[in-house]
């Protein structure tokens, strides 16, 4: 009876969270520009309502009356998530939750204008406010007072249970091999890039074809254009967004495959309204998007299927066969923008942000010094200095939306994707042939069974271990990158 | 202090209502088809939250502590609206509000499928459920137990304070002159219809041009395609929807002008979050859409500006000048569909629904008999029998969404528009010249001052009297229709 009341409460809260998610999707994809200030009020009102529900005083009463021994693994996870949400909500005052939501909504608007003007100082006051609220929030949530306590508290919101002391060394331990790989590639000539006319409508049509081909159900989703692509929703309504660069057919294509990877996870949820069926962690979410983008979409066998499809879409592409397509889709170029980075550079971009945001949260770095510090550390890792803030500290949406502790999940997602890939090679011996024909149904089925329907039954490291037979490690990712680019660049 | 608490509460409730409004817009304009069942849960959860806020037990405490003598007219209206919302909410149990929202969301889906299949019986079970919930709701709200008590309670939700005993005779009193006009026109030859190629993209572009020209701020709005056009939102985010018939350029054009009339009202609200600044009533809303559609868009002087604009959009239109355009835009044809009806027939369509829904609510008419009764009464008024339910009882979205008591506000809106038109002719003697050049700024300014910024300061009849100097009456509408069509059809 208590458990039924709790579940009913959780389901309705999930419906309100999906509503708030739709507000965000709409803000990016549909909202007229003059609606922004008003929208901040809507977002704030929804955050307050959701916060009040998560802090409902009946929750601990229901929980106390539940016989835990009678619960299935799935219901035990629902209970654990309910306890977690209650703990998070009761430690953050309603006033702070509402202010944070408003600051994020307004901050996003200010950031977009500052980025267009390439003017970091125009964004700095908004970022200071967001950061102050985040530090206040972290202090409410922190366990203990160690050097990573504040950052751990924020990280936990995206990667439940993860600790900086664990993931920091694993991620930062990748830097030597990553910078060595980058330096080795930089001395070699780049393969041929695509050449031709890549009209926007044809790129979108191709992206839709590929998304549908690898399993995205467009009757339960849609694709729209935005500045910074994302995926939102769950169950029967999972929407992705993308962008088009008419000079580069790979931008839209791989951005779409990436978001489709997220969408496949969300469409595979066992129940759209129960927390135990929600995605396991952001890193596990990212493992799905990266797997489809890089281990499927940018693989040599998939190029067999993709090459004729691209020729049909665009006519001449300048790439005379699958080998040329594979090489072009994996061209390595040192660039400034994370979301456009190749596999060889991507994790270095993430490590930079991981470092910087830990320093912002700990107080070791001031917002006024962020642009200069970004540029200096970028030079250290990439050998280049960003020419303006739009190519530097203003390029990502995350901090403007109050997302601190989110960046490391991107690199962790690549680590998990590589672990899953290695296990899948054993589990599905015919996988290369599936990729050559883009008959990827068994691959999706394997991910559905091992990851998607498992929801939050286990924490991320345990889920990866259950799926692969070994605890997560960075080795498969580094091995994959060195093998792939070693062969492509004759290192 | 109490009043400030009340206002703050009302503002946040308004933000949640706008969020729920966005869910509805999205459902019609954006949602993927498989999202429907899930969306019903979201709509139900939002309805429950809004209901709980409107029934918050602190509201009567705040209200009791307010010094009414110190309030401005605007704040007195806020107080009145707060009392009204509390009364409505506390009389409707949360369980009923949630069931109604779910039934409406699901009913809409069933209706759309039934309409596509032209199968009234496929919709009947859903309609019975919606109707039962509506009658239950009306019984909760009804004052007294007169023959119109249930219907009055529903009518009041759209037209605050209106009584069937007042508006019934005014509206039904129009039928003799309307049917006489219809019969007289039917004996005359119809003017030439437009001929040419009216590509969808050009129609949408023309519609956008005209909407912007008459004052719609597209930076605070957007236009999308749907089956059944509507307007939603307020303040800085007011969205309209439209539809395109490639055989008829007037369908999209006048549908868009109509929704733009609604949008101009919503964009002119003095405050997007206070109930006193909200629209006065649905009939006043409709007076704005109809005014721009018929008294501006279908007027003879406006045809002077519109004719060359249409020639530029489409090349040949088959209409050799403003006179031919004016005649074609006011072609009278007896048809089955309300939303496509000309001015001469429109109010007869509304009167039919007004009659039928009163009988459904009173219990005099059963859902199973609705299709036959619709067809019989349609024959009585129009001289024709609908060939299928999509052209008959299934054509309108309203009942599927639980909207009973809404239809009469369409005819009442035409009555109010004619009253405003008559007063504006005196107030703005240069109005015909404004229409000839589509320099309609002073017309919008007059409506902004007399109607838009007045919000809910007064009830609708008092607002019309304040704006026009006389209580509302059907005479200006009937005089307008007889004069216009008498001249066009040489009666």
Residue A227 pLDDT grade (very low, low, confident, very high; cuts 50, 70, 90): confident
Q: A233: helix, coil or strand?
A: strand
**Do B23 and A26 count as a contact with CB atoms less than 8 A apart?**
no
**Do B45 and A218 count as a contact with CB atoms less than 8 A apart?**
no
**Residue B234: CA count within 13 A, CB half-sphere:** 23
**B309 DSSP 8-state letter:** H
Among A9, A30, A37, A52, pick the best mutation site for testing chain B contact (most B Cβ within 10 A): A30
Q: Which of A81, A99, A106, A259 is catalytic?
A: A259
**Do A19 and B48 count as a contact with CB atoms less than 8 A apart?**
no
**Do B220 and A19 count as a contact with CB atoms less than 8 A apart?**
no
DSSP characters over B47-106: HHHHHHHHT-THHHHHHHT--GGG--HHHHHHHHHHHHHHHHHHHS-HHHHHHHHHHHHH
Residue A433 pLDDT grade (very low, low, confident, very high; cuts 50, 70, 90): very high
Interface of A with B (CB under 8 A): 11-12, 15-16, 18-19, 22-23, 26, 30-39, 41-42, 44-46, 48-49, 217-222, 233, 235-237, 239, 272-273
pLDDT tens by residue, A282-332: 999 999 999 999 999 999 999 999 999 999 999 989 999 999 999 999 999
Partner residue opposite A222 with nearest CB, options B32, B45, B218 = B32
What confidence score (pLDDT) does residue B98 get? 77
Q: pLDDT at residue A340 above 90? A: no
Locate the chain A residue with the closest alpha carbon to B271.
Answer: A38
CA of A310 vs chain B CAs: smallest distance (Å): 27
How many angstroms separate the CA atoms of A472 and A475, rounded? 9
**Residue B428: CA count within 13 A, CB half-sphere:** 19
CB B273 within 8 A of CB B232: no
How many angstroms separate the CA atoms of A136 and A105, rounded? 18
**Do A237 and B15 count as a contact with CB atoms less than 8 A apart?**
no
Burial (CB count <10 Å: 0-12, 13-18, 19+), residue A365: middle
Q: Give the length of chain B.
A: 491
Among B8, B11, B34, B40, pick the best mutation site for testing chain A contact (most A Cβ within 10 A): B34
What confidence score (pLDDT) does residue B92 get? 86
How many angstroms separate the CA atoms of A326 and A478, rounded? 20
Q: What are the chain B neighbours of A34 within 8 Å (beta carbons)?
A: 217, 219-220, 236-237
Residue A217 pLDDT grade (very low, low, confident, very high; cuts 50, 70, 90): very high
CB pairs under 8 A between A and B: 107
Q: B151: helix, coil or strand?
A: helix
**Do B46 and A222 count as a contact with CB atoms less than 8 A apart?**
no
Alpha-carbon distance values, B229 to A146, B226, B256 (Å): 59, 6, 8
Q: Which structure tokens are listed for B405? A: 């008591």
- Average pLDDT per block of 10 residues along chain B, 491 residues long: 92 98 96 94 92 94 94 94 93 85 87 96 97 96 91 96 95 95 95 94 97 98 93 98 95 97 98 97 98 98 98 94 97 92 96 97 96 96 95 95 96 98 96 98 98 97 98 97 97 93
Partner residue opposite B34 with nearest CB, options A11, A33, A220 = A220
pLDDT tens by residue, A64-107: 999 999 999 999 999 999 999 999 989 988 789 879 888 988 89
Residue A259 catalytic? Answer: yes
Partner residue opposite B42 with nearest CB, options A15, A41, A239 = A15
- Report the relative pairing of strands A237-242 and B223-225 from DSSP bridges: unpaired
Q: Which structure tokens are listed for B228? A: 């059944």
Locate the chain A residue with the closest alpha carbon to B9.
Answer: A45
CATH of A147-491, one of 1.10.15.40, 3.40.50.300, 3.40.50.10490, 1.10.1370.30: 1.10.1370.30
What confidence score (pLDDT) does residue B29 get? 97
Q: What are the chain A neighbours of B208 within 8 Å (beta carbons)?
A: none
Partner residue opposite B19 with nearest CB, options A19, A30, A272 = A19
Q: What are the chain B neighbours of A18 within 8 Å (beta carbons)?
A: 38, 42
Asked whether the CA dihedral B410, B411, B412, B414 is positive or negative, the reply is positive
**Do A37 and B273 count as a contact with CB atoms less than 8 A apart?**
no
Helix (H) or strand (E) holding B15, with range, is: helix B2-29
Where helices occur in B92-243 by DSSP H, the ranges are 94-116, 120-141, 149-158, 164-172, 175-186, 200-213
CA of B163 vs chain A CAs: smallest distance (Å): 35
**Do B26 and A23 count as a contact with CB atoms less than 8 A apart?**
no
Residue A405 pLDDT grade (very low, low, confident, very high; cuts 50, 70, 90): very high
Partner residue opposite A32 with nearest CB, options B42, B46, B221 = B221
The mean pLDDT of A172-198, rounded to a whole number, is 94
Burial (CB count <10 Å: 0-12, 13-18, 19+), residue A296: buried
ipTM summary value = 0.90
**Do A49 and B18 count as a contact with CB atoms less than 8 A apart?**
no
Partner residue opposite A236 with nearest CB, options B16, B38, B272 = B38
How many angstroms separate the CA atoms of A178 and A334, rounded? 13
Q: pLDDT at residue A343 above 80? A: yes
Alpha-carbon distance values, B46 to B88, B130, B158 (Å): 17, 19, 20
**Do B32 and A239 count as a contact with CB atoms less than 8 A apart?**
yes
Partner residue opposite A220 with nearest CB, options B35, B41, B219 = B35
CA of B438 vs chain A CAs: smallest distance (Å): 25
Angle between helices A249-267 and A282-290 (to 10 degrees): 130
Locate the chain A residue with the closest alpha carbon to B12.
Answer: A45
CATH of B148-491, one of 3.40.50.2300, 1.10.1370.30, 3.40.50.170, 3.40.1350.10: 1.10.1370.30
Start-end of CATH 1.10.1370.30 domains in chain B? 148-491
Q: What are phi and psi of B248, to 5 degrees?
A: -140, 100
What confidence score (pLDDT) does residue A93 get? 85
Q: Which structure tokens are listed for B247? A: 């055989």
**Do A15 and B220 count as a contact with CB atoms less than 8 A apart?**
no
Where helices occur in B330-407 by DSSP H, the ranges are 343-362, 370-382
DSSP characters over B418-472: HHHHHHHHHH-TTHHHHHHHT--HHHHHHHHHHTGGGTTSS-HHHHHHHHHSS--
Residue B178 CB neighbours (<10 A): 23
CB B285 within 8 A of CB B414: no
Alpha-carbon distance values, B156 to A248, A254, B143, B365 (Å): 58, 54, 11, 22
CA B274 to chain centre: 21
**Do A15 and B45 count as a contact with CB atoms less than 8 A apart?**
yes
Q: Which structure tokens are listed for A115? A: 């980025």
Q: What are the chain A neighbours of B272 within 8 Å (beta carbons)?
A: 38
**Do A32 and B273 count as a contact with CB atoms less than 8 A apart?**
no
Q: What are the chain A neighbours of B45 within 8 Å (beta carbons)?
A: 12, 15-16, 19
**Residue A121: CA count within 13 A, CB half-sphere:** 0
How many angstroms separate the CA atoms of A49 and A98, rounded? 9
What confidence score (pLDDT) does residue A163 get? 95
- A452 is known to lie in a ligand binding site: no
Q: pLDDT at residue A241 above 90? A: yes
Q: What are the chain A neighbours of B109 within 8 Å (beta carbons)?
A: none
Residue A228 pLDDT grade (very low, low, confident, very high; cuts 50, 70, 90): confident
CB A437 within 8 A of CB A305: yes
Partner residue opposite A45 with nearest CB, options B15, B26, B45 = B15
Mean pLDDT of chain A: 95
Q: What are the chain B neighbours of A15 within 8 Å (beta carbons)?
A: 41-42, 44-46
Interface of B with A (CB under 8 A): 11-12, 15-16, 18-19, 22-23, 26, 30-39, 41-42, 44-46, 48-49, 217-222, 233, 235-237, 239, 272-273
Dmax (CA) for chain A in angstroms is 68
- Residue found by looking up tokens 């703050």 in the block: B8
How many angstroms separate the CA atoms of A288 and A413, rounded? 8
Q: pLDDT at residue A473 above 90? A: yes
Start-end of CATH 1.10.1370.30 domains in chain A? 147-491
**Do A39 and B221 count as a contact with CB atoms less than 8 A apart?**
no
How many angstroms separate the CA atoms of B389 and B374, rounded? 9
CA of B263 vs chain A CAs: smallest distance (Å): 14
SS3 content of chain B, % helix, strand, coil (to 5): 70, 5, 25
CB B313 within 8 A of CB B205: yes
């Amino acid at each position: 009876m208590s458990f039924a009341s709790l579940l009913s409460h959780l389901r309705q809260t999930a419906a309100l969270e999906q509503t708030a998610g739709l507000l965000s999707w709409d803000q990016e994809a549909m909202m007229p520009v003059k609606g922004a200030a008003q929208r901040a009020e809507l977002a704030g009102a929804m955050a307050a309502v959701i916060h009040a529900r998560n802090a409902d005083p009946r929750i601990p009463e229901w929980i106390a009356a539940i016989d835990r021994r009678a619960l299935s693994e799935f219901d035990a996870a629902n209970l654990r998530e309910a306890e977690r949400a209650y703990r998070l909500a009761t430690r953050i005052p309603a006033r702070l939750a509402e202010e944070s939501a408003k600051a994020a909504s307004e901050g996003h608007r200010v950031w977009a204008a500052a980025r267009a003007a390439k003017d970091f100082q125009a964004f700095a006051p908004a970022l200071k406010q967001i950061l102050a609220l985040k530090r206040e929030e972290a202090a409410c949530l922190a366990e203990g007072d160690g050097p990573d306590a504040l950052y751990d508290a924020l990280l936990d919101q995206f990667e439940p249970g993860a600790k900086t002391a664990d993931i920091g060394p694993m991620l930062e331990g990748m830097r030597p091999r990553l910078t060595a790989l980058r330096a080795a590639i930089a001395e070699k000539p780049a393969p041929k890039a695509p050449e031709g006319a890549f009209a926007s409508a044809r790129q979108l049509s191709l992206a839709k074809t590929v998304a549908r081909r690898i399993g995205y159900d467009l009757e339960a989703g849609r694709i729209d254009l935005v500045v910074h692509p994302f995926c939102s929703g769950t169950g029967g309504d999972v929407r992705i967004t993308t962008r088009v660069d008419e000079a580069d057919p790979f931008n839209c294509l791989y951005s779409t495959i990436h978001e489709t990877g997220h969408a496949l996870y969300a469409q595979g949820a066992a129940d759209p309204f129960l927390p135990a069926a929600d995605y396991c962690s952001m890193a596990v979410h990212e493992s799905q998007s990266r797997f489809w983008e890089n281990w499927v979409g940018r693989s040599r066998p998939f190029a067999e299927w993709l090459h004729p499809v691209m020729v049909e879409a665009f006519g001449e592409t300048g790439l005379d066969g699958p080998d040329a397509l594979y090489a072009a889709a994996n061209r390595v170029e040192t660039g400034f923008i994370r979301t456009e980075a190749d596999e060889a550079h991507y994790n270095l971009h993430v490590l930079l942000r991981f470092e910087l945001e830990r320093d912002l949260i700990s107080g070791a770095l001031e917002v006024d010094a962020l642009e200069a510090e970004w540029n200096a550390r970028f030079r250290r890792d990439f050998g280049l200095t960003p020419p303006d803030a739009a190519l530097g500290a203003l390029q990502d949406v995350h901090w403007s939306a109050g997302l601190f502790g989110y960046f490391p999940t991107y690199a962790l997602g690549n680590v998990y994707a590589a672990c899953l890939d290695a296990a899948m090679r054993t589990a599905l011996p015919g996988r290369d042939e599936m990729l050559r024909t883009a008959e990827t149904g068994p691959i999706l089925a394997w991910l559905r069974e091992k990851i998607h329907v498992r929801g939050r039954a286990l924490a991320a490291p345990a889920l990866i271990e259950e799926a692969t037979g070994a605890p997560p490690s960075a080795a498969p990712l580094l091995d994959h990158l060195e093998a792939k680019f070693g062969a492509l660049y004759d290192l």
